[in-house]
Structure 1
């Protein structure tokens, strides 16, 4: 194998165009600070999206615990400086680690920050997401505003309190006698006495700690224990939040000028492709193992380099088409593996035949008796519903660029959580997590974590082996074969309705699994251990296969289990929800494709409600 050791010198990395998120670029300022912003990898940081990202955080003689632009975070969520910086031109930069995957979250976060700071929307810019720059946000489950918005509002309120305190000292007036407009603080009785935020704090630290808003495990904000926190602006005083503003990304997106991850190039890079088994059936019950790699099968393609690390195989070349051709031609022999997957037509029968943990999710009244021996006037309906797997089906396969050296790594990719990518890459390339920098570039984004990690981790492995930056783009075959899917679902439902059209009883029995124990393909092929999930999915109940457990009321069984919250909008005196949790190994990997179980569940539930309405002589609609 032509495996080349990693070069210790590193490589310059720059971007030929970059889709921004509302940041203004000052080329002279960026160039003047390249040495300051140089990462530990030796790669130059270009395209952070702000001309004053780092200088706002580190002052002469200061060395904070975490220095923005110097090493990977996450920064302390109890520090105002982790979220905000104010600049001499009276603008502010927001460093919230949430990304835009179609919902406009970063735009709304800018609105929240501007509202709390009494700035115009145009005065608040948002840094492109980067683990050397931003907080640890995770863009999923409506967290951008539900959690990120609360975080930003709290930090901005604290920042405003610091700024007003400074203004009070400088203007010799009590805080309650001050007013703010467009970041200019003035005395109410004498408006000519004024000072701007930029004059008060431009490129200096807030140095303000506070208690961040806590959240419970459902993402609901909880009361703070320390009463000393800045109260947010009352909703009645809002002038920016709730109004329509222009999204900075839209003009380039609709005109075809936006630079997606697939468009990014860096000097000296190689184009990479992976050569994996055709589909995750190969790893259904065991780790796929390479028997041999025939290098001669690609000798007609000049400059092709073959990468192999354990059972991970890839190819790279200076020209992308050469890499594509090599991936198609390279002959890799794999150990035979059992074809355990039941196939699309057999998935639901396989669920029903499997030994399962029976989890009583909810039980009130006596649904079994009400359905088995219905009272006079009660009519009963039953039906079986089968939900298929759901594919992300991205418009473009995932792509990433990595530049890994002995001293650090730079990864450019799409992802919902950059710090999760940083951690998994660090484990694969054996580097400290704070030496792995991950920068976000929008791709063909999806909810439910499609092959973001596979592309980023694969690029990192290939870069480390070849000693050069590698741009890895998955093929359609790779993406469909190794991506996670929305869960398949089998449901048997029985329901009863009385003569007045009221639901008398309801029983929902569901079959499914919560994990296969298999993580990303690069992790599986190089390490042989799952990246996420808790091993073979015998269920979270902790009982052996075939056992029965009653889940306590109010306890959530995870993303892939039916829940009373899906059914409690109906007033039903006799109700039973039963989950048959099967072992996940031998099925496709599943992921949270936006409230993952809701599409098949509600299709089944509302289909049965239509049946009951018909029996009760009611209009189903």
Structure 2
């Protein structure tokens, strides 16, 4: 059974905070301000103008960066509607959601809207598609532009029909007067100039009148994916297209000494591309390119120099690396006497993105203009990096997003695009498709950083947390394309480009310190981030960034504190939580799970609970997990995972459930099984046997996601909400089943529990 509860949008929310995102040479700022109505998504029953944005002197969503209406929506005189977004479809369903938002505000059918996503030649520049910001930022912009265009269409139609705009109604894209005269959108838009700036106020459709928003309409990207249709950049085939493979060094920083030039004479080989230590081969078909790549791999002579840290002592290494100290947050309340103090240190290994489809890109250099089809998450920053790498003008480079078969974070999609661009330059006039191999994807991934967290907390005589001391050791979680040197291929050219130095992401978004501030009410706390600029392995953004580890630590330790206070874990959380919306999701998840504080504990059977608000700014999610541990083997089977989420106003309920379900499985896989294998010279987990992920036999037997809908409230984003809470809930359930707390991830390396014995 799935429960969807609708709440008043006036419900309180946490104070928002300001975020600044720097993408290459472009600076895009997004604002999240106090109160639930700030994003101007509220509307009254009669669709009165929303004045909240005007009062704050800003434009809603991402309109501040691109304020022109016709940058977002265009309607031609045939009435065809095209909506533009700078965000990329990564499998989250945002394309369908944006169509629903625009259709609702324009009062047309979803099938009447054509959506164009993430194309430097036609869409707004919205930076990266990351951090669960797509609907909150781009969706909000599309909603307001659509509402304002609707008003302009009605005004234009009113002038043409000789009646006031207030007397007109729109039904399925037809504008009707009281006397039944009608105009199409195409007729109404004739003579209407939409090249004007958006206004801070919008006459939004009242939530009570919604017919499209809030409905689980079929996602537009699913049919092709389930029927084997061309859905991904990996499926692209262009006329006259060549196939290419890059030849990667055996280890970080290796220098190419010599190659066998005879490879260029192999059947089908068109060209061998070498620039310093960058090496690739181009052929007429894919198999010929693979054969030539393998021949080059066998014959190439490399000088290696990589020295990687000892895996067995990696966490000690992190604790001793040079660091930049960042005081994340602190609060000093009244001093209280502590009756008990607990301490714990938690560790997380390097994690691979494990994209099911290895990275791919297609590039075509034609008459001095370069077009790149890519599954990168930021086509505009990528365009800047490619232009710098090739010495071209940015306006001569066009990057078009095409979905890739697996992403969620900074995987090698940008690097594959750089390969395609470098190789296309060597064979101008013909499109070139570059497909990475599995071992390249795993070996040269930008891993999620290894982390260490340390927490010390004290309890009062009443069983309340009175002091919380928290530390984080982490590398950068963002090595996206600030400059061309961040592209792998550019680092191996004869004139190599150095990557921009790593920088921490400021809070409240945060990088390694994302979600490090507990949402709970602790009178005294201190959070310290030891930012580590030196990166032993190649790392960057992975879904949720530091939130995965920080929520895992916080919520695991909350269970330890609850046990010390002899209070039920759910009740313990509620005792420390003043946030009304947070309490709502905790209570809903516990109720739907059938959480029983007085349950009898049985060895081998455990239940666990966890909660977080993503970034303390976005969606609230609570989850309860039930699992069994096989006494003879230590194998773990998750039997049930029951989650509740509040992501503000829901556009497509089924899409929200899809995202939370997928996040639960991915987070459980990270927590249970995944870790990068390496030695002192190179990465060793170069295939699925070396880097196992959750298999079908290990998927939870039952997953439910219950929704709290808040019509008219801001969109809060869904994609990463379940990453942190799931890992902690699984860990808490294992501790309940075995009587032992495991603080080092993965919990079940090799498929079985560490330190396995029942207590």
- Structure 2 equivalent of residue 198 of structure 1: 186
- Please say if residues 360 and 375 of structure 2, whose CA atoms lie closer than 8 Å, have aligned partners that are also in contact: yes
- Please say if residues 363 and 433 of structure 2, whose CA atoms lie closer than 8 Å, have aligned partners that are also in contact: yes
2:558 aligned with 1:591: no
- Structure 2 equivalent of residue 42 of structure 1: none
- Which of 367, 370, 390 in structure 1 is aligned with 2:351? 390
- Please say if residues 491 and 508 of structure 1, whose CA atoms lie closer than 8 Å, have aligned partners that are also in contact: yes
Cα distance change on mapping 1:75 and 1:323 into 2, 3 Å: farther
- Please say if residues 75 and 134 of structure 1, whose CA atoms lie closer than 8 Å, have aligned partners that are also in contact: no
Aligned residue for 2:259, secondary structure, equals: strand
2:72 aligned with 1:117: no
- Which of 147, 163, 176 in structure 2 is aligned with 1:157? 147
2:481 aligned with 1:513: no
- Structure 2 equivalent of residue 90 of structure 1: 79
How far apart are the structure 2 equivalents of 1:109 and 1:233?
Answer: 15
Cα distance change on mapping 1:614 and 1:602 into 2, 3 Å: same
CA deviation vs aligned residue, 1:40-71 (integer Å, no higher than 9, x gap): xxxxxxxxxxxxxxxxxxxxxxxxxxxxxxxx
- Structure 2 equivalent of residue 215 of structure 1: none
How far apart are the structure 2 equivalents of 1:379 and 1:83?
Answer: 57
- Structure 2 equivalent of residue 316 of structure 1: 282
CA deviation vs aligned residue, 1:290-334 (integer Å, no higher than 9, x gap): 222222366555535210123211111112112112212213333
Cα distance change on mapping 1:206 and 1:244 into 2, 3 Å: farther
CA deviation vs aligned residue, 1:562-619 (integer Å, no higher than 9, x gap): 25x543322222212122222324x223222222011111212222222111111123
Aligned residue for 1:323, secondary structure, equals: helix
CA deviation vs aligned residue, 1:483-517 (integer Å, no higher than 9, x gap): 21212110122122223221122211211122697
Deviation at 1:530, TM superposition (A): 3.9
Deviation at 1:120, TM superposition (A): 1.7
Gaps of 5+ in 2: 1-62, 480-484, 571-759
Cα distance change on mapping 1:338 and 1:93 into 2, 3 Å: closer
- Structure 2 equivalent of residue 559 of structure 1: 510
- Structure 1 equivalent of residue 556 of structure 2: 607
How far apart are the structure 2 equivalents of 1:184 and 1:436?
Answer: 40
How far apart are the structure 1 equivalents of 2:122 and 2:321?
Answer: 48
2:296 aligned with 1:334: no
- Structure 1 equivalent of residue 590 of structure 2: none
CA deviation vs aligned residue, 1:534-573 (integer Å, no higher than 9, x gap): 4156x68xxxxxxxxxxxxxx627632325x543322222
Deviation at 1:92, TM superposition (A): 1.2
2:190 aligned with 1:241: no
Gaps of 5+ in 1: 1-73, 213-223, 283-287, 541-554
Deviation at 1:209, TM superposition (A): 1.0
- Please say if residues 303 and 317 of structure 1, whose CA atoms lie closer than 8 Å, have aligned partners that are also in contact: yes
Given the two structures, how large is their TM-score scaled by the length of structure 1? 0.75
- Please say if residues 384 and 492 of structure 1, whose CA atoms lie closer than 8 Å, have aligned partners that are also in contact: yes
Runs of 4+ with >4 A deviation? 297-302, 515-518
- Structure 1 equivalent of residue 258 of structure 2: 292
Deviation at 1:171, TM superposition (A): 0.3
CA deviation vs aligned residue, 1:59-84 (integer Å, no higher than 9, x gap): xxxxxxxxxxxxxxx99822222122
Cα distance change on mapping 1:259 and 1:354 into 2, 3 Å: closer
- Structure 2 equivalent of residue 485 of structure 1: 447
Cα distance change on mapping 1:355 and 1:143 into 2, 3 Å: closer
- Please say if residues 80 and 206 of structure 1, whose CA atoms lie closer than 8 Å, have aligned partners that are also in contact: no
How far apart are the structure 2 equivalents of 1:617 and 1:295?
Answer: 72
- Please say if residues 221 and 231 of structure 2, whose CA atoms lie closer than 8 Å, have aligned partners that are also in contact: no
- Which of 527, 530, 533 in structure 2 is aligned with 1:580? 530
Aligned residue for 2:143, secondary structure, equals: helix
Give the aligned CA root-mean-square deviation in angstroms.
Answer: 2.7
Given the two structures, how large is their TM-score scaled by the length of structure 2? 0.62
How far apart are the structure 1 equivalents of 2:110 and 2:231?
Answer: 24
- Please say if residues 476 and 540 of structure 2, whose CA atoms lie closer than 8 Å, have aligned partners that are also in contact: no
2:413 aligned with 1:452: yes
Aligned pairs for 1:191-230 within 5 A: 191=180, 193-201=181-189, 206-211=193-198, 224=200, 229-230=201-202
CA deviation vs aligned residue, 1:468-496 (integer Å, no higher than 9, x gap): 32110111222122221212110122122
CA deviation vs aligned residue, 1:1-39 (integer Å, no higher than 9, x gap): xxxxxxxxxxxxxxxxxxxxxxxxxxxxxxxxxxxxxxx
2:404 aligned with 1:404: no
- Higher alpha-carbon deviation: 107-116 or 156-165: 156-165
